[in-house]
Amino acid sequence: MVGGTPNRGFANIEFEQAVMADMVHCNSTAFDTYGTDQEVQAYLLWIGGLTDNHTAFPRFKPSGTPAEQLAYTNFLTTYNTFLIKFINLQGNPYHSELAGLTPLALINLINNIPLDCQ
Amino acid sequence: MKKIILLSTLAFSLSSCYAQKSISLGVRRVNGKKFEVKATEIQIGKGKPGVIVFNADYEYNYKAPPLPKGPHPFPMQMKDIHMENDKVKSIVIGVLRYKMQVLKERSETLRLLFSLDQRGEPKNISYSIAQPTSISLEDISKIDEKMKKQVRASFTGTDYLQYNVIHYNMPLISF
């Protein structure tokens, strides 16, 4: 911040790190505490789909083939859907307020680690 | 020749016995229990639509459980949840034994999400199944009854004492 009102920030660190941790540990921490059973289940299905049922990390290629570009766009759309649900969880003290922000830290990380997490 | 015709007929009738069907959506009563069947927002497996089957009377299906006791509780870690995975699998396989060949041929899967209380008792189990499937709602009802009677989880550490509901995501069961 350079004078004036505080900057809203440039990261949705709470949600982004929860998604990363849940991809690694097959868990649902983003929705476990403050979400309904249905929200937890929907989120787990998404994480399971992203990781081929917790066996491999995805690769995102925004400049790849049309199919890879579509997969990337679908990922961002669903990520933002769950981000908005996360923001709206009643009683959740953790906030990731920048709906629509591309999770670049998460994408950079999973694009640069071994597929099988070894 | 007669033997060939007989064997072909037998093979055809066996495979059609457990034909894949879509489980119809909505609330249904099976063996005295009410189950809700809901289409998933997310596709299951390789782009297949799916359903989630769960206990319709469970109070936290559409309502969040009570807030944790502390203001910023540490999330539950998988290492602190101890579930009898082998027993869970043996119950599923035991109930579906008579369909096992068909389930294997079609590479079907079943995903279970347990909602446990602090004593480790399953209060609700959600079943995610790709559609169409050879698994029926009656099968799920039998599995559910056995799970609730026979399966218990235990916890280590003290984090679980913060929560009224502890979720456990069972590794995917692939037939």
Is there a domain that residue A16 lies in? Answer: no
ipTM greater than cut 0.90: no
As given in the structure block, the two tokens for residue A27 are: 């868990």
> What's the farthest any 2 CA atoms get from each other in chain B?
76
Residues of chain A found within 8 Å of residue B54, distances taken between Cβ atoms: 37, 41
* Chain A residue with minimum CA distance to B163: A33
Is there a domain that residue A101 lies in? Answer: yes
Contact B172 A53 (CB under 8 A): yes
CA separation for the pair A90, B64 (Å, rounded): 8
CA separation for the pair B99, B139 (Å, rounded): 10
Helices A66-87 and A13-25 cross at an angle (nearest 10°) of 110
Strand, helix or coil for residue B85: helix
Contact A54 B172 (CB under 8 A): yes
pLDDT recorded at residue A31: 92
Contact B169 A27 (CB under 8 A): yes
First vs last Cα of chain B: how many Å apart?
A: 35
pLDDT recorded at residue A6: 46
Contact B137, B52 (CB under 8 A): no
Q: Which residue has the higher pLDDT, A40 or B15?
A: A40
First vs last Cα of chain A: how many Å apart?
A: 40
The alpha-carbon gap from A7 to the nearest alpha carbon of chain B, in Å, equals 24
Is there a domain that residue A17 lies in? Answer: no
CA separation for the pair A78, A45 (Å, rounded): 12
State the total domains in chain A.
1
pLDDT for A37-77, tens place per residue? 999 999 999 998 888 888 888 888 888 899 889 889 989 99
* Of A34, A40, A53, Cβ closest to residue B113: A40
Is there a domain that residue A43 lies in? Answer: yes
Is there a domain that residue A18 lies in? Answer: no
Residue B93: pLDDT over 70:
yes
Task: Tell me the backbone φ, ψ of residue B174, rounded to 5 degrees.
Answer: -110, 130
Residue B18: pLDDT over 60:
yes
pLDDT recorded at residue A8: 52
pLDDT recorded at residue B154: 96
As given in the structure block, the two tokens for residue B85 are: 């995975």
* Of A41, A89, A90, Cβ closest to residue B126: A41
As given in the structure block, the two tokens for residue A95 are: 């906030």
Q: Within 10 Å of residue B58's Cβ, how many Cβ atoms? A: 18
Alpha-carbon Rg for chain A in angstroms: 15
pTM score, two decimals?
0.83
CA separation for the pair B162, B76 (Å, rounded): 9
Is there a domain that residue A7 lies in? Answer: no
* Chain B residue with minimum CA distance to A53: B172
The alpha-carbon gap from A38 to the nearest alpha carbon of chain B, in Å, equals 6
Interval B102-126 mean pLDDT: 93
pLDDT recorded at residue B111: 92
Is there a domain that residue A93 lies in? Answer: yes
| Contact A77/B at CB under 8 A | no
Residues of chain A found within 8 Å of residue B80, distances taken between Cβ atoms: none
pLDDT recorded at residue B2: 59
- Mean of the per-residue pLDDT values of chain B: 86
Is there a domain that residue A10 lies in? Answer: no
Strand, helix or coil for residue B110: strand
pLDDT recorded at residue A14: 84
Which residues of B make CB contacts under 8 Å with A? Answer: 38, 40-44, 50, 52, 54, 58, 60-64, 67-68, 71-73, 75-78, 109, 111, 113, 115, 124, 126, 128, 163, 165, 167, 169, 171-172
Q: Which residue segment(s) compose the domain that A104 sits in?
A: 35-111
